[in-house]
Structure 1
Amino acid sequence: MADSRIYGHTLKTMGKALDISAKRHNLVAGNIANMDTIGYEPSDLDFNKTLKRAMGEKEPDYLAKTHEKHLSMNDDEPFSLEGKNSEEVDIYHLDSVNIDTEMMNLMENNIKYKTTTELLLRKMKILNYSIDEGGK
């Protein structure tokens, strides 16, 4: 990774934020794609909680472990999903996915992604300006 004296934790944080936004986009797009699937329960993730967890927040104390490698929260993919898998199929309940809510989630995620990308580009411009010695 890059020298932390130049970048700090900014690039790491922005990279994780972009990864989480991409993961959330896939979840919301999956919800929209399965809108007419009988018994489908939509999945989503909390951006802020997931980013804190991805940045190495301490593992919760309330997990009981019988072995140190069981129930590890430090997996390669630290994204937590909300939702549930339904074993019962209700053929009369086809509206488990609200298209308005999902489109709002998609727009919100798109704005976060674009903002993070813009911040990353501005960080690179500042660094480029510094390397160029202020345009001399």
Structure 2
Amino acid sequence: MAISFDKALGIHQHTLGVRSKRAEVLANNIANADTPNYKAQDVDFEQALNQAKSGQSGGLSMSKTHDKHFDLGLEPTAGLAYRVPLQPDTGDGNTVDLNVERNNFMQNNLEQQMTLEFLGGKFQGMRKAIRGE
């Protein structure tokens, strides 16, 4: 009898991928906190998760406007949007609030760890089922 990992792992496999992508976006925001005109981004978790579950790719792909441009094969992340700033513009056009970004990064990290623990439990359960315990 074949094991269906999609059924056995449930939503956690998709959640892990979305959390990982969100960690990249938040880290990018933190890295660009002093970059003029940089706009903070975040991932709409629900939209990205729905897209990951349905197996769709990012949607739009980059277009080449000149023959010598490289085809990077990059697609935008599902649910990626600009964050509405909570504070007024400081004059440089940057919308990154380091406190918000750090808090979101830590929250995302905790949720990613929780997902890894859920997946570990699922694999442990499958191991026990295979051994007949």
Instruction: Determine if the TM-score, normalized by the shorter chain, exceeds 0.5.
Output: yes
Structure 1 stretches of 4+ moved >3 Å: 72-78
Corresponding residue number in structure 1 for 2:64? none
Q: Does 1:21 align with 2:19?
A: yes
Q: 1:35 aligns with which of 33, 36, 55?
A: 33
- Tell me which amino acid in the other structure corresponds to 1:13: I
Q: What do the CA deviations read for 1:7-61 (whole angstroms, capped 9, x no partner)?
A: 453436322211111111110000000001111100111112210122119x9xx
Higher strand share: 2
Q: Does 1:126 align with 2:116?
A: no
Corresponding residue number in structure 2 for 1:79? 78
SS of 2:39's equivalent?
coil
Percent identity of paired positions between Structure 1 and Structure 2: 28
Corresponding residue number in structure 2 for 1:105? 104
* Aligned positions of 1:27-66 closer than 5 A: 27-56=25-54
Query: Is the 1:53–1:78 Cα contact (8 Å) retained in structure 2?
Result: no
- Tell me which amino acid in the other structure corresponds to 1:49: Q
Query: Is the 2:40–2:96 Cα contact (8 Å) retained in structure 1?
Result: yes
Query: Is the 2:35–2:94 Cα contact (8 Å) retained in structure 1?
Result: no
By how many angstroms is 1:94 displaced?
5.7
Query: Is the 1:21–1:109 Cα contact (8 Å) retained in structure 2?
Result: yes
Corresponding residue number in structure 1 for 2:70? none
Query: Is the 1:43–1:81 Cα contact (8 Å) retained in structure 2?
Result: yes
- Tell me which amino acid in the other structure corresponds to 1:38: P
Q: What do the CA deviations read for 1:74-109 (whole angstroms, capped 9, x no partner)?
A: 98775231018xxxxx88236521111101110111
TM-score scaled by structure 1? 0.68
Separation in 1, partners of 2:25, 2:109 = 13
Q: Does 1:3 align with 2:13?
A: no
